[in-house]
């Protein structure tokens, strides 16, 4: 139970009212209340114009949200056009020419395929090694190729490894694979006469 005596709060002071002294028509003095004055407040920019010591209000500048993004994430705005595609094609063409010239320098006259195909097995092993060194495709002639650069390199090397009398006919074929298949069908197929010749040589073989 609260036994504290109630607090005697003093009454609030009455608001101070300004008064002015007036004289009535009968010669009596009266105290009339004076209405409060309403001071006109000028805007800050107007006050700053008349008083240079007053700083104008700070203008709110809109913040660009994109500037807060790290530079490695923020994509470029309207990037300038580049010519990388043409430069890349030029580099590929230059590399292909270098590979072709380097491989042709390794092909000598004795390495070329003869018109009668007598050295076809040796030539086949040789040309497959050169193609593998040039484009790193050991079985290039056994599968279809969809790379124009590889086709250009293989076709040039293959034509250079043939005898001069064979190049005109082989160049009419569309792809390097078609040229290789044509040569294999022409010289690698064993004819009936070749089989009989090999059989006769076997019969004439003298072990003594």
Domain boundaries, given as residue ranges, for the chain: 91-187
User: Where are the extended beta strands (E) located within the chain?
Assistant: 19-23, 29-33
130-178 pLDDT tens trace: 999 999 888 899 888 999 999 999 999 999 999 999 999 999 999 999 9
Asked if pLDDT for residue 85 goes beyond 70, the answer is no
Region 88-111: mean pLDDT is 91
CB-based contact 31:19 (threshold 8 Å) = yes
Q: How far apart are CA 121 and CA 162, in angstroms?
A: 14
What is the pTM for the complete model shown?
A: 0.51
Name 33's bridge partners. Answer: 19
Residues near 202 by Cβ (< 8 Å), separated by ≥ 6? none
């Amino acid at each position: 139970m609260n036994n504290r005596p109630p607090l005697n709060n003093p009454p609030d002071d009455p608001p101070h009212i300004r008064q002015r002294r007036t004289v009535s028509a009968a010669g009596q003095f009266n105290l009339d209340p004076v209405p409060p004055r309403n001071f006109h407040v000028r805007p800050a920019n107007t006050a700053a114009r008349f008083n240079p010591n007053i700083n104008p209000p700070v203008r709110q500048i809109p913040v660009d949200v994109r500037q807060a993004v790290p530079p490695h994430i923020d994509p470029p705005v309207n990037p300038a056009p580049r010519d990388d595609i043409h430069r890349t094609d030029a580099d590929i063409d230059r590399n292909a020419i270098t590979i072709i010239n380097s491989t042709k320098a390794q092909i000598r006259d004795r390495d070329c395929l003869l018109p009668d195909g007598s050295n076809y097995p040796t030539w086949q092993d040789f040309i497959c090694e050169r193609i593998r060194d040039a484009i790193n495709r050991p079985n290039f002639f056994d599968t279809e190729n969809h790379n124009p650069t590889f086709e250009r390199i293989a076709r040039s090397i293959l034509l250079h490894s043939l005898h001069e009398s064979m190049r005109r006919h082989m160049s009419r074929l569309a792809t390097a694979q078609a040229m290789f298949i044509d040569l294999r069908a022409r010289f690698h197929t064993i004819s009936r006469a070749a089989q009989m010749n090999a059989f006769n040589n076997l019969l004439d073989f003298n072990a003594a």
